Amino acid sequence: MPDIFGVIADATRRDILQALLERHLQDEEMSVSEIVGQLEISQPTVSKHLKVLREAELVTVREDGQHRFYSLDPEPLEMVEDFVIPFLSAGFDTEVTVEYLSEDGERVSGPESEDSFEDTGEVLSEEAAAAAERIGRAAAKAEHRVKELVARFRLRD
């Protein structure tokens, strides 16, 4: 597999990924001609970059006759995210506090002690752990997006 950082280093490939992301969020594919039209670059250039993105497994292709439809596969980018997040969060206070509230919104005491979980050997059920992981990834993505927007804003000044 090609070096993912080298693949996304190219601005044209990032533009293609951005266009595919917009469609991915709508659960739709994008044809080569749509990419060409949106980015206003030549079809051979788009095809060359799509080949690199396919080899990096960042996009999938569905053939329908002579037409090819592309979809984003964001999973390989998680490696980039895992690498970059520690750098983006360096120096930020990310302390988490836990507060237990009753159904009425009043503060209540939490579990008696942390030792109360030692009986079962697990702190969270599998479902809760999976949900916590999804929430953590969403929070990290949101934090990254905010930092990216702040950096863009600073560049404009």
Provide the Cα torsion 76, 82, 83, 89; round to 10°. 140
pLDDT of the residue at 36: 96
Token match 């996304």: residue?
8
pLDDT of the residue at 116: 46
Could you tell me which residues are beta bridge partners of residue 70? 30, 61
**Are 4 and 77 spatial neighbours (Cβ–Cβ below 8 Å)?**
yes
What are the two backbone dihedrals, phi and then psi, of residue 108, each rounded to the nearest 5 degrees? -130, 160
pLDDT of the residue at 122: 56
- Residue 58 in tokens: 């960042």
d(CA 80, CA 88): 12
d(CA 43, CA 144): 32
**Model confidence over 98-145: pLDDT tens digits?**
777 777 878 877 665 454 445 555 567 788 888 888 888 888 888 877
pLDDT of the residue at 113: 47
Could you tell me which residues are beta bridge partners of residue 71? 60
Token match 């693949």: residue?
7
d(CA 100, CA 69): 49
Strands 107-108 and 100-101: antiparallel
Residue type, 48: K
**Model confidence over 35-85: pLDDT tens digits?**
999 999 999 999 999 999 999 999 999 999 999 999 999 998 888 888 888
d(CA 21, CA 72): 6
The two most distant CA atoms of the chain are separated, in Å, by 66
